[in-house]
Amino acid sequence: MNLQPTQASLTELAGALASKTISSVELTTLFLDRCEKLNPLLNAFITLDRTATLAEARAADARLASGETGPLLGIPLAYKDIFCMQGWLTTCGSKMLANFVSPYDAHVVEQFKKAGMVTLGKCNMDEFAMGSSTENSFYGPARNPWDTRRVAGGSSGGSAVAIAARLAPAAVGTDTGGSIRQPAALCGLTGIKPTYGVVSRYGMIAYASSLDQGGPLAKSAQDCALLLNAMAGFDARDSTSLARPAEDYCRNLEQPLTGIRIGLPKEFFAQGMSDDVRAAVAAALAEYRKLGAQTVEISLPNSGLSVPAYYVIAPAEASSNLSRFDGVRYGYRAPDYTDLSDMYCKTRAQGFGAEVKRRILIGTYVLSHGYYDAYYLQAQKIRRLIADDFRAAFRQCDVIASPTTPGVAFEIGAKSDDPVQMYLSDIYTTSANLAGLPGISLPCGFGAGSMPVGLQLLGNYFDEARMLNLAHRYQQATDWHLRTPEGLSI
């Protein structure tokens, strides 16, 4: 078998491990060596620990030697640094948690450890997942391997960079308003946000609890399906975790697309997207029609309100969730203070970055007396209208297609002084989080500067298998997901 581990799918890697073509230690060492060589340039990882990682790889080899098999056993995996992991730094990209070593594993981490995956490292991210470019990280921005002058997207930007640069075969991220799908699009990857409640949030440091959801990023839809099989499942420790029968997200991958109705929201295609993104998405839709699907125009009349509603609800929840970071129990504490109140003020002033402070202030404002009804309550009403729009749309179509982002990756610093323009990067993605729907982004071409373009598919509740089917059949007919950045000795 002529295996190229950095280019291989998870299924190919599992086959090589099972046949003893390569050991988990050998495979993991290969990726660790690439990380050590390229991470100083790309800033994809916050924490790497070769000793701990190789110990897990040896344990996986022992399981393989005993005759145990599994679709993910022995394969390295990178985690967004928002997932608590016992014995590892869990910083959330913030100075506030720069010294926090988690005493326990998140549910997602537990699931992947059961599956035998090897922890490769903890990936860079926007501080507390607040951002669309990873520029808000205390550790500096992750750099897009297609052009290191450009952003990788956010907030799961480090996870996306790790896969795109072939520093890891797969990674885990979180999506609050597009934070898996958007970096997947900007880095030429596949990333899926499951239905809210399918993946446990236990041990996933909260940004906006009613919106956050964990999900996988990988090179292909098939790889994402395998990862989602391991991630999904009920967890009694998370009150929003859904008790549903286990399902195999790979089960429909090979189904033909004949008769599938793809809805095209007229609001998404009217204005706002760049011409290069429009052309790539149009070509992808034409390919779907060749595969037997049909496209129908639909309307999501309240979709234009999704970004303003999101940027009221998410900061409101963040202002509550982040109140726990006060310097008392764990994390950063200001070195000099006069009394308890002064310690609170200085710790939070010094420990949080500018964007986190901005969102805490916005959130506190919209929840305050006299403004709750005018802002927060109205945003929640809009959220219901957006969900109702989707329900009506899915009576006319099976999935909804759109661009993932309005343009390709922009240069680092280009939008730093204009938060509103940065927030509009999420214009096509936030509505799925507000409604709790699943969404996937897959590469569908290249735009300006030879940068990747992403196609977004949104499904009805618990319709991940159908979305993955559409993504997989498209990837069988095209090779966009197999392209790799040049110049990184891949």
The residue from 155, 156, 159, 303 that is catalytic is: 155
- Answer whether 307's CB lies under 8 Å from 431's CB: no
Q: Which two tokens stand for residue 399?
A: 């999935």
- Strand-strand pairing, 170-175 and 76-80: parallel
* E strand residue ranges, 232-388: 261-265, 294-298
Cis before residue 239, ω within 30 degrees of 0? no
What is the DSSP code string of 117-159?
-EEEEEE--SGGG--SSSTT-TT---B-TT-TTBB--SSSHHH
Classify the phi-psi angles of 265: left when phi > 0, otherwise alpha if psi is within -120 to 50, otherwise beta.
beta
b/e sequence 350-380, b meaning 16+ C-beta within 10 Å = ebbbebbeebbebbbbbbeeeeeeebbebbe
The residue from 80, 122, 219, 415 that is catalytic is: 80
Residue that the structure tokens 């099972």 belong to: 18
- Answer whether 86's CB lies under 8 Å from 56's CB: no
464-477 helix and 275-290 helix, angle to the nearest 10 degrees: 90
Question: Would you call 80 a catalytic residue per the annotation?
Answer: yes
Question: Would you call 122 a catalytic residue per the annotation?
Answer: no
Query: Which whole-number Å values give the CA distances from 350 to 94, 98, 102, in the listed order?
Result: 11, 12, 22
Question: Would you call 241 a catalytic residue per the annotation?
Answer: no
* E strand residue ranges, 340-478: 399-403, 439-446, 452-459
The residue from 23, 102, 137, 179 that is catalytic is: 179
Q: What residues act catalytically?
A: 80, 155, 179
